Amino acid sequence: MSKLAKALLIIGFSLLLLSFLTANTAHIAQPPPSSIEAKLLANNAYILQNREAQSVYVYLELKAAKAPESKDKLPLNISLVLDRSGSMASERKLEYAKKAAEFVVENLSSKDHFSLVVYDDEVKTLSQSAKVSNKQPIKNRIELIEAGNTTNLSGGMLQGYHEVKTTFGEKAVNRVLLLSDGLANEGITDPKELQKIVQGRSTEQGISLSTFGVGADFNEDMMTNLAEYGSGNYYFIDNADKIPAIFAQELNGLLSVVAQNAQVEINYPTTYLKLAKLYGYPYSETQKGNIKVEFKDVFSEETKAVLLKFDVIQTPDEALNITSKITYDDALGDYSREVIDQEATFEITEDSTLYKEHVNELVAKNILLFEANEEMEKALAMVDEYKYDEAKDVLDNCIRKMTGSLSIIQADTSLNEQYMSIKNYRKQIDEIKEMNEQERKMMQKANKSSNYMLKKKKQ
């Protein structure tokens, strides 16, 4: 055989082998996609040496994968806690709440646990926590709910927690859904005491809480706080006919959980840094230099993020590191405990030009977003106290600061929404002064809800 023939034979064999391997690549088992992708970023690659009053930031963001439609959902273990106080009879609120309850029941499977609690001045468990094997008896009980007297919110909430605990599942979504249209005026009414309760149930028992506030007369600050420390979601419902749709939104998230028991630990060197602020979520620092944030359940395609601001109390002589460890139970895989370790490093320099060249644009955008969001919160609180001029000053200063970065803001959807919400609220303040109390309450609740959603990256 000639050399040319041998060469052609080898080439032909190689092409045949390549064709075979390419055709069969799809049949090779691919590693499953990660349920969560995370990043820890510094606002700059450098710290300036011998600069007074210097701060550094780190931004931590996690993004959840999309839950495949073919993936079996985690079983739900939920308690629906409905306010049936006298005020719920107005504006058909109770009627729509009952429709929402029926919708929840209808969309549960025989693997799910469900309980139904109602409260006015008394608390009643209409359906104890059990698997949803027969839906009609539960619907019949829902249909018979009638409005009662005052609002023992704490009693209803605690009973909901009790029901979830009796059927708690390690590999289940354990959550209380609490709806109210009024002020807590029976049982435990102190917001700080209620916050301790929900935080304890979340961290110690693994049961989260989502809150739904309806109309003008509930305490939105308390209901938001309960959801924050209860590791759930807060919803403002301005019109009663939206109650079923809002419950559908929450249920859709619960049915698409991709990670559970998610938390992040952030460690920083206390010799050089002091934590000045953490934006985005509640946190704990039981050990100096160690910060913990509980994310708990993470829904399909959800983004969760925190921004940390540190004051530099002493300039280090060498590179400075801040580390993070995200841990979670992978609900898309085999429910293994997954760990993501990351590190943000700051080098030391005297070169201000080098410093300016290494600004991280994503972190810079989030600094602008979170700080503006906090200024909006301050203004909202001032208007609650009728301090209209002080609120205007806060917003005017914020608008001036943001206007200096207008090109960046207009190119970013979330930043632009935050900027426009602040400008619009600044215009509304004079209108709010002339509103009656009911209109004023609704305006405040709507703006607070929008600001909360932007902080939680839900818009």
For residues 32 and 305, the model is more confident at: 305
DSSP track, 35-48? SEEEEEEESBSEEE
pLDDT per residue as tens digits for the range 313-330: 998 889 999 999 999 999
Quote the pLDDT of residue 317.
Answer: 87
62 & 106 share domain: no
84 & 158 share domain: yes
161 & 277 share domain: no
Residue 158 has φ and ψ, to the nearest 5°, of: -65, -35
- Whole-angstrom Cα distance, residue 348 to residue 184? 53
Q: Is residue 59 situated within a structural domain?
A: yes
Reading the block at residue 261, the tokens are 């028991």
Look up the CATH number of the domain holding residue 240. Answer: 3.40.50.410
Indicate if the pLDDT at residue 276 is higher than 70.
Answer: yes
Residue at which a domain ends, from 331, 359, 387: 359
421 & 450 share domain: yes
Q: Is residue 7 situated within a structural domain?
A: no
Q: Is residue 16 situated within a structural domain?
A: no
pTM above 0.95, yes or no: no
Indicate if the pLDDT at residue 11 is higher than 80.
Answer: no
Indicate if the pLDDT at residue 350 is higher than 50.
Answer: yes
304 & 276 share domain: yes
> b/e map of 336-354 (b: 16 or more CB within 10 Å)?
eebebebebebbebeeeee
Q: Is residue 22 situated within a structural domain?
A: no
Indicate if the pLDDT at residue 31 is higher than 50.
Answer: no
Average pLDDT value for residue range 398-411: 92
Average pLDDT value for residue range 119-143: 95
Mean pLDDT (the chain, rounded): 91
Quote the pLDDT of residue 144.
Answer: 92
448 & 412 share domain: yes
Q: Is residue 11 situated within a structural domain?
A: no
> Which of 266, 322, 273 is CA-nearest to residue 295?
266
Query: In whole angstroms, how far apart are CA 44 and each of 267, 275, 300, 378, 405?
Result: 18, 17, 31, 28, 18
Q: Is residue 10 situated within a structural domain?
A: no
For residues 448 and 185, the model is more confident at: 448
Quote the pLDDT of residue 182.
Answer: 87
Reduced to 3 states (helix: H, G, I; strand: E, B; else coil), residue 19 is: helix
Which amino acid does the sequence have at 148? G
Percent over 70 (pLDDT), the chain: 93
Residue at which a domain ends, from 359, 389, 423: 359
Residue at which a domain ends, from 334, 359, 384: 359
pLDDT per residue as tens digits for the range 170-197: 999 999 999 999 898 889 999 999 999 9
Percent over 90 (pLDDT), the chain: 83
Reading the block at residue 334, the tokens are 């085999």
Query: Could you tell me the residue range of the domain that residue 346 belongs to?
Result: 36-69+258-359
Reading the block at residue 99, the tokens are 């429709």
Q: How many domains does the chain fold into?
A: 3
Look up the CATH number of the domain holding residue 330. Answer: 2.60.40.1530
370 & 443 share domain: yes
Quote the pLDDT of residue 210.
Answer: 97
